[in-house]
Homo-oligomer: A and B are copies of this chain.
Amino acid sequence: MTEPLRLGIAGLGTVGVGVVKIVRQQAALLELRTGRKIEISAVSARTKGRDRGVSLSGYAWEDDPVALATRDDVDVFVELIGGDVGPAKDATEAALKAGKDVITANKAMLAMHGQALAELAEEKGAVLRYEAAVAGGIPVIKTLMEGLAGNEITRVMGVMNGSCNYILTRMEDSGKTYQEIFAEADGLGYLEADPQLDVGGIDAAHKLAIISAIAFGTRVDFDGIQLEGIERVSIEDIRAAADMGYKIKLLGVTQMTGRGLEQRMQPCLVPETSPLAQLNGGTNMIVIEGNAVEQIVLRGPGAGEGPTASAVMADVCDIARGARGTVFGQPAKTLVASQAALSKSPAPYYLRMALVDKPGALAKIATVLGEAGVSIDRMRQYEHAEPSAPVLIVTHKTTQAALDQALAAMDGTGVMAGAPVALRIEEV
């Protein structure tokens, strides 16, 4: 274990540069902590000449990440290219086939091809690690896979996309619309090149799919996630939810139920007193529940150069110290195909609707809800100038099916002045 550990880093964006900086600036500390020198043999990126604010002299350059991944002087291939297919996947596969360990921050690749990559890695005796792929600087993979290894995990949930949380908290603070804040965030460079990855919940759902596999010993199943982004969250709903004591978050939840694996990524209301509600801006939070540990909450920066590089370096140090182990916490071939739950677990719901302003309108809605078996916990009708009356309802716990039935029946009452909004209230 006294040989240096030699890295090949592909992708020199924010995170790649952050990793190079740590390896250079913390060399002595890293050696003291791992018992080995950590070195960079070679790097690769799309553009060679660009000034990245850190010296790359002394590292070999490869234009082709596959060539980098298979170099004799690379022990660990660090994949920071991104994208679920293309060079990232090609190079990862090449490295694993060559029996080299791989560290990646690539949540899309793992969410789409995690099973095949895990089987390949384990067949070759290689390690595939990805702390940086989920929740940035928060060591959530390590906590799930190692720190809580003695637990049967019952539920994991959290806020896993900082950009969405930024947009929602900015809407709340400023009173501006989704469209206005989206434009602001985009202008500040807070969104992915394809913003749909963020606001559509896809990026967060990639992370949730990975978490599910570790938590429940199931094959990564991105398609099994019930997915909805934040595009339809309106400033009216943020205000109304606040009035009822809630905040709206893009919340990921994965839990094993008697009906199968329930994976959801959708805007939800959470009580304003819960830790999740108090999460502002780009911070992420993961709540893990296990049968022995009860509940652990982890909070930290979900992105950024330093935090993400910190997560990559955790994997580097683990490998330098000799850590091996499986990709998802148990042998890939033992992961079972998840049965996606056909229905969501019951929950209270928030309903916002505009009713035509005439006698008996509210009674009709209450009747329709009652007939569908949805009971009302709290209701509020607001003063209004418009011809329609804004009404908020918080239901008792109910099923999505009962709620859908009620929403469909509302349509026929003739008292709806617009489509109602329904959002799940998550009990945290």
- CB within 8 Å of B: which residues of A? 18, 22, 26, 29-30, 32-35, 131, 137-139, 142-143, 146-152, 217, 275, 278, 290-301, 304, 306-307, 309-314, 316-318, 321-326, 329-331, 334
Contacts and interface: CB of A to CB of B under 8 A. Distances in A.
Contact of A149 (B137, B300, B313): B313
A188 B150 CA distance: 28
A135 B296 CA distance: 11
A296 B146 contact: no
A311 B290 CA distance: 12
Q: How many monomers of this chain does the complex have? A: 2
A308 to B, nearest CB: 9
Nearest to A1: B324
A213 to B, nearest CB: 13
**Closest 6 A/B residue pairs (Cβ):** A150-B313, A139-B147, A149-B317, A292-B310, A292-B306, A293-B310
Given A292-B309, A293-B301, A297-B300, 12 more contacts: A30-B150, A33-B330, A137-B294, A139-B148, A142-B147, A150-B313, A275-B275, A293-B306, A298-B299, A299-B299, A321-B325, A322-B325
A372 to B, nearest CB: 37
A413 to B, nearest CB: 43
A300 B287 CA distance: 10
Nearest to A309: B292
A374 to B, nearest CB: 33
